[in-house]
Every structure is written in C-alpha cells, then in structure tokens.
C-alpha cells in the first residue's frame, strides 16, 4: 500500500546525497527535506501513519515522519485495502546492500512523534519559484517553516486564478492555460500563517525557453569568511523566465549559498554550487568553490623531522596483508619496509586544503628496490591528492621510482612520474643510487582556473627537472599526501624532513622552520592490540609511579572488557547491570603542567531507566584530575567532569528516555551541571570528544565534540581536599577516569584515547 525507499545520486564512481524517498512514486520530500538525508551507518527513526480504505477523509492516505519531523503529508497509498496486517523490509532484486532494522512498534490509531506537540510556527516561507510558466509545465513548491522545531504540516491552495493552474496536496503546480494565478502555502494547523507566489501562464507555443546557463566565473577561490555573488548568464537573453535556483551539491560544511546566489565561505575545503534554470531543469551550470585560509606564500602548513616515534596525531598508517611490512621511525627517519609480496605499507596525512600553488618537500633514500630472484624491480610510490588518498582515483599526481632488471641486477634506477594519458610513467631524467639521500620538491597547483592549474613542477636536489607536468586527476583543492610501495614489490626506503608550505618553490626559502609541534602525543590507546576479553595494562592506584597505566574496577553486574564493536574494531566496553556498583576505568599518565588535550571516542549503547517512575536516565561520567591532590577516583578531587544526561517521560504508561545531552559540572563543586549547547547524543553513535585543559588557579577547559568547539574556557572545578583550604589549586594534570554512576544501568564504549601535551 505504501513504500519508503532509500535513494542517492551517482557521480564519478561515488554515491552521494543519500536520502529517503516517499511512496511508490519515489518522491523527494517537500517538507523538512533535511530530515530525509542520511549518512551511511546513521540510524534514522521512521514513523508511518497510514489509514486503510475506511471511508474517512484520510482513507488510503499516509503521513511520514523521520526523526520526529513530518516529511510527507497525506500521500496517496498505492492501492486501496480495507485493512492493514503486514510490514515488509527487503532490498531490490538486483541490489547489493546491507541495512539494519531495530525497535519495530505498531500502534492502533494515531501515534505521532513528540514533535506534533511542538509550538505554533511563526512563519512559512516559499523557496525560489518561477514567475512565468508555459502550459503543461509543472514545478513542485518548496517551503520552510520557522522556527526550527515548530509544528510541521503544510497545505497548498489557489486563492486566485484556479482555472489557470492546478496544485496537488503536496505542492505540485501544473500550468493549465494562459492567465495569472496566486498560490498559497500555509501551515496545516495554523492557516493564518502562510506565504504566496504569483505565476503567469503563457501558451507553450509562444514562450521563449531557456536553452543554456553559464556563469561569469565557474571556478572561484574564497578565503574563510569571504562572500561572493554568482552571476548567471541566460541564453537566449530574451527567455521568458529569468529565474534560477542555487544549491550546494557537495562541500556542505565548507560554504552556504543564499537564494540570490551569494556564496559564503565557512571552512577550508572544496564545494560545488549548482545553478539551475527554473524554466528548463536541463539547463544548469556548476561552480567549483575552493575555500582557503588567508595565509602568505611561504607559510609552513606541515612539518615532520621524525625525531621521535611516528606522530599518530599527524599521520595515519595502513597495511594491506601486513605481515612483514612496517612503517615506523628508525634512526630519525621514517622507514617504509615491505618484505611481503602480497602486501604494502602505507603512511599518509592530511593538511589544510590548498586551492592555490603549494610545495611539498622531503628527503628520500632507497635501500632496496629489487625482488630477489625474479628480475622484477620494486618501486617506491608517493602521491598527493584529496579525499580517501589510499585510492588511486583520489591522487592528483604520483612520483615513483623505476629501473631495469637483468640477471638480478638493477640498472638505470631513476625517478619517474605519472602520465595523465595512461599507465606508463614519464621519466624525470634523474637517476638515483641506493643508500644516497635526495631532496625532492613537488610544486603543484590545483584546478583553480589559473594558467598553472592542474600542473606540477618537480625539483630534485634544488634543480627543476620537470616543468608543468599535467596532473593525472583534477581537484579543486589538495589536502592529502601518501607514502607506499607496490602491492607485489619488496622495497625499503626512508623519508626525512617532510615539509609543506604555501606558494612556489622559491617561497620555501623565506619560510621559517616551524617550532616544535604545539602538541606532543604522550599517550595513545586504540585497544586494537589487546586480546578480546582482556583489559588494558593495569597498575595499582596507590602506585602512580607506573605510568601510563590503567586501574580497572569491575565486578559481577559492572563489567569492563575489550570487545569488537559493530564495525569490527576493538574498543573498551562498559556494561553496568548493577544498581549498587559502577564500572570504572582510571588512566594515570605522565604529569602535564601546561595546556593538555584529552581526546577520546564515546558511544552510548544504552541509557536504561534504572528505577521506573523516578524519571532518571542512566548516565556516564568522565573526570580529569591530578594525583598531586589525592585519589582521582574521588569526585571531590576532580578538576573537571563531563557527563551525559537525559530526561524520562511517561508515554502511554511507559517510561521513555528523551532529551539526551552532554553537560559539564559547574566550577563551584555544587553538583550542578551546565548543558553543552548545539548538540545532543543518540544511542549507538560514536562521538569524538576533546577536552583542552589548562590547570592552575584560573584553570579552564574548552570542549570540542566532533571537531566543533561548543564550550570555550569553562572554569575548572576547585578540588576539595580534607584538612586543607577547600580552594586548593592543582597545577598538573595526570589522570582520566571513565565510569558509570551508582544505581545507573548503562552500556557504553570508549575508544581511541589520546593525551597530548
């Protein structure tokens, strides 16, 4: 009778813009469209209220809610039936897909999501609509309700000229005959709140149609905070309908675009705006937008001298069939070692997206380039690009070694680079010797519309050997760099003095070497090297000289252990089934006296109500402290506490958890908490939380969740120590505790714990 189906758009081998489509016609939502969008792996709560063929006004109709917001109102069912008695979940016949279903509930009668009890809307606003249509044309009206969270539901009507246009219940306007009509879209619950548009219909045989669209600039670069008008040019110039729509189709977090075409840059990265004719949807043009930081040429944006162990706050590593492969710092350089004919080590990093010329420099020493006994050369492979850089399709350019092999001997060992015309590599004209260091600099310009766009210069030991080599793939920004070997090769090489700066080769001579990194990783644990069911390396809380180490407090009903999460990744799982015990994991690390960053991933699997009728949901507490002022297991000794919270409401006699939030404790040790604005948590969703803490008399903490700073410089608590001044100050940070609360029944996970000084 009714169907809900997922959909997406396909572009260059990638599916994007995932959304839910409504009814057997697979229509896009006309209200609250953002609620229908989703990311892979994201849970969405769906409610369908349907009425069978019962003779009422709503018979054979369905309403659809996603995450509590109405996205479809009074949609026609596919066929009429006097009753409903089944729900089917399935994939398409030829589809390859994986999906999960949970929390299935079926109610008799109407049970709308809580948002139906929302406040009255303050306004209804139509999006861009055409002023002129030809007979036979159709367009769907898009309207928004304000403020966010107001009661949803819209109606569409013709207040004047009903003989000239028709309008469907979901806002589809169809031009019938020449004339002028006024269409109104109003709140379904508050019809006095509405917006209107006027459309003039002309005969299809006489209208001058839009044939094409162009932009004065279809590649633009903006600094963060900068804005620019997009100016479309319509052909022919005398087309009847001159209106266009503006839509961000990629890079949604980098820019916004207004209905009038004003693009505003939000954060560094690449984005695309599509400008489409309101008269002819096949007439559109895309504008590539690169957003960059406003920095001068020669500014160093990445540097690593490999003086210590590989800094995993900068680098990511990966291996394919990783036995006998290695990527680690040895004797002050990064060693890339591959002794596996079916595997390859990879080390890669990201940096601030660059839309203008950028230079990448490193020293390289090749120590093995032969697959013994096979007469096969083993290669070094180095690339840069964007996105998932472990895939070649995201490489803009590749630098490589090559050579000839005969009688188990390598000759003509040389540096080569990618050929945009095919798989064969082009020669730089520069040979190399094993065990010799060479300084390589690649100067590239992304696809920014300049004369040098999509080209790369190569310097070896200060001499330009290649000028304006064409990049194999075009990208508006460059922000990734990767080191690796060939899959079947047996290779060893070393990298040192890695440096990236803005601008040309010569600009690097004016750039000063950066100071020591402002963040040093002093502890990191992703739990992947710990046997399932076991615990992190533990010590006694009374012997904090063993650092770093964990103290685990668990018991029957309050368990902690290493478990595979749902993505085949090990994490530390806390299971609290006791209303009197609480699982705790205390990490003691090297003392930090200055600003310290504590980062971790948190997933709430369950926050069950621990006493029915008490209106309390189960919570997780995370504290930071110092052993200088006593046991960090004591709440009174904490410098800072982060916590989850939620409300409990009774719906139809059943207690339901709502209003899930993060909060932190006030500095006065009163036990009162302040909500963290701008975010709520969902069950079974990972959140990356970062606490940037400064100890001392005026100590503060800033809170970042999923990379967004939500709290700035919150005052730290004043730990209470018996027989001392209650306002005692801790000048060090060295402990981190994760725990459930007494009488709480919760299941939660912790992963990727990192401490930076």
Each residue's pLDDT tens digit, 300-325: 999 999 988 888 888 988 765 555 67
Would the pTM count as exceeding 0.85? Answer: no
What fold, for 521-756? Jelly Rolls (2.60.120)
Q: What is the 3-state secondary structure (H, E, C) of 398-423?
A: EEEEEEEEECCEEEEEEEEECCCCCC
For the segment 447-484, what is each residue's pLDDT rounded down to a tens digit?
A: 887 889 999 999 999 999 999 999 999 998 899 999 99
Predicted confidence at residue 548, as pLDDT, reads 78
Q: Which CATH class is domain 123-202?
A: mainly beta
Ranges of the chain with pLDDT below 70: 114-117, 319-324, 372-373, 509-520, 533, 537-546, 555-557, 565-568, 609-615, 630-633, 636, 719-729, 743
Calculate what percentage of the chain has a pLDDT beyond 90.
37
pLDDT score at 366 = 94
- Kind of pairing between the strands at 255-257 and 227-229: unpaired
The CB density around residue 570, as the number of other CB atoms within 10 Å, is 17
CA distances from 55 to 52, 58, 77 (A): 9, 8, 14
| CA–CA gap between residue 625 and residue 737 (Å, rounded) | 8
Contact predicate 97/91, CB 8 Å: yes
Please say whether the beta carbons of 250 and 271 come within 8 A. yes
Domain boundaries, the chain: 4-114, 123-202, 212-292, 300-509, 521-756
**Predicted pLDDT at 743:** 67
Distance, in Å, from the CA atom of 304 to the CA atom of 517, rounded to the nearest integer, reads: 9
| Cα–Cα dist 327/514, whole Å | 24
Query: At the top level of CATH, which class does the domain 300-509 belong to?
Result: mainly beta
The two domains 123-202 and 212-292 share their CATH topology (first three levels equal): yes
Q: How far is CA 275 from the centre of its chain?
A: 25
Three-state secondary-structure class, residue 290: strand
Q: What is the CA radius of gyration of the chain?
A: 31
Query: What's the pLDDT at 323?
Result: 59
- Topology classification of domain 212-292: Immunoglobulin-like (2.60.40)
Strands 132-134 and 194-202: parallel
* Short-list 466, 473, 412, CA closest to 443: 466
DSSP strand pairing (745-756 vs 733-740): unpaired
């Amino acid at each position: 009778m009714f169907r809900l189906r997922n959909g997406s758009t396909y572009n260059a081998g990638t599916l994007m813009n995932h959304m839910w489509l409504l009814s057997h016609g697979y229509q896009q939502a006309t209200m609250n469209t953002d609620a229908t969008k989703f990311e892979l792996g994201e849970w969405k709560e769906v409610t369908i209220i349907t009425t069978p063929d019962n003779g009422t006004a709503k018979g054979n109709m369905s309403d659809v809610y996603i995450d509590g917001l109405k996205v479809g109102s009074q949609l026609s069912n596919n066929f009429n039936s006097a009753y409903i008695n089944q729900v089917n979940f399935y994939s398409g016949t030829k589809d390859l897909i994986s999906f999960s279903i949970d929390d299935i509930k079926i109610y008799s009668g109407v049970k709308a999501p809580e948002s139906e009890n929302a406040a009255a809307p303050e306004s209804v606003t139509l999006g861009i609509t055409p002023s002129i249509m030809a007979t036979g044309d159709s367009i769907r009206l898009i309207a928004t309700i304000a403020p966010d969270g107001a009661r949803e539901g819209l109606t569409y009507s013709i207040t004047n000229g009903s003989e000239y246009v028709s309008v469907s219940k979901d806002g589809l306007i169809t031009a019938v005959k020449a004339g002028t009509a006024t269409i109104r879209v109003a709140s379904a619950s508050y019809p006095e709140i509405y917006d209107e548009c006027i459309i003039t219909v002309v005969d299809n045989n006489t209208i001058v149609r839009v044939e094409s669209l162009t932009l004065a600039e279809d590649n633009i670069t903006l600094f963060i905070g900068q804005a620019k008008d997009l100016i479309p040019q319509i052909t022919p110039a005398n087309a009847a309908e001159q209106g266009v729509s503006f839509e961000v189709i990629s890079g949604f977090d980098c820019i916004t675009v207004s209905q009038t075409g004003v693009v505003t840059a939000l954060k560094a990265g690449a984005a695309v705006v599509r400008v489409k004719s309101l008269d002819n949807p096949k007439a559109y043009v895309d504008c590539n937008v690169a957003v960059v930081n406003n920095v001068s040429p020669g500014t160093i944006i990445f540097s690593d001298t490999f003086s210590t162990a590989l800094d995993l706050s900068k680098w990511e590593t990966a291996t394919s069939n990783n036995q006998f492969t290695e990527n680690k710092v040895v004797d002050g350089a990064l060693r890339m070692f591959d002794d596996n004919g079916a595997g390859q080590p990879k080390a890669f990093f990201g940096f601030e997206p660059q839309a203008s010329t950028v230079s990448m420099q490193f020293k390289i020493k090749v120590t093995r380039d032969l697959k013994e006994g096979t007469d096969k050369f083993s290669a070094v492979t180095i690339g840069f690009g964007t996105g998932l850089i472990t895939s070649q399709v995201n490489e803009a350019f590749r630098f490589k070694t090559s050579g000839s092999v005969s009688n188990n001997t390598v000759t003509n060992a040389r540096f080569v680079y990618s050929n945009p015309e095919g798989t064969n590599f082009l020669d730089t004209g520069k040979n190399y010797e094993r065990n010799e260091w060479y300084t390589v600099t690649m100067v590239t310009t992304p696809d920014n519309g300049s004369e040098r766009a999509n080209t790369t210069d190569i310097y070896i030991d200060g001499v330009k050997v290649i000028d304006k080599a064409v990049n194999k793939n075009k990208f508006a920004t460059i922000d990734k760099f990767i080191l690796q070997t060939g899959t079947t090769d047996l290779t060893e090489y070393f990298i040192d003095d890695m440096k990236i700066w803005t601008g040309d080769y010569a600009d690097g001579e004016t750039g000063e070497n950066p100071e020591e990194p402002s963040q040093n990783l002093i502890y990191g644990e992703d739990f992947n090297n710990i046997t399932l069911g076991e615990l992190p390396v533990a010590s006694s809380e009374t012997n904090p000289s063993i650092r770093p180490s964990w103290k685990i407090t668990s018991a029957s009903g309050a368990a902690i252990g290493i478990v595979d999460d749902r993505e085949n990744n090990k994490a530390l799982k806390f299971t609290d089934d006791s209303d009197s015990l609480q699982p705790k994991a205390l990490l003691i690390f090297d003392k930090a006296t200055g600003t310290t960053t504590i980062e971790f991933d948190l997933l709430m699997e369950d926050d069950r109500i621990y006493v029915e009728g008490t209106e309390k949901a189960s919570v997780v507490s995370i504290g930071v402290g110092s052993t200088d002022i006593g046991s960090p297991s004591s709440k009174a000794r904490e410098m800072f506490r982060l916590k989850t919270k939620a409300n409990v409401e009774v719906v139809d006699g059943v207690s339901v958890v709502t209003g899930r939030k993060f909060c932190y404790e006030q500095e006065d040790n009163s036990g009162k908490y302040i909500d963290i604005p701008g975010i709520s948590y969902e069950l079974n969703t990972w959140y990356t939380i970062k606490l940037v803490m400064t100890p001392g008399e005026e100590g503060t903490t800033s809170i970042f969740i999923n990379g967004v700073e939500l709290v700035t410089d919150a005052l730290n608590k004043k730990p209470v120590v018996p027989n001392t001044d209650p306002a005692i100050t801790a000048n060090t940070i060295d402990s981190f505790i994760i725990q459930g609360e007494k009488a709480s029944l919760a299941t939660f996970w912790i992963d990727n714990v990192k401490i930076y000084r």
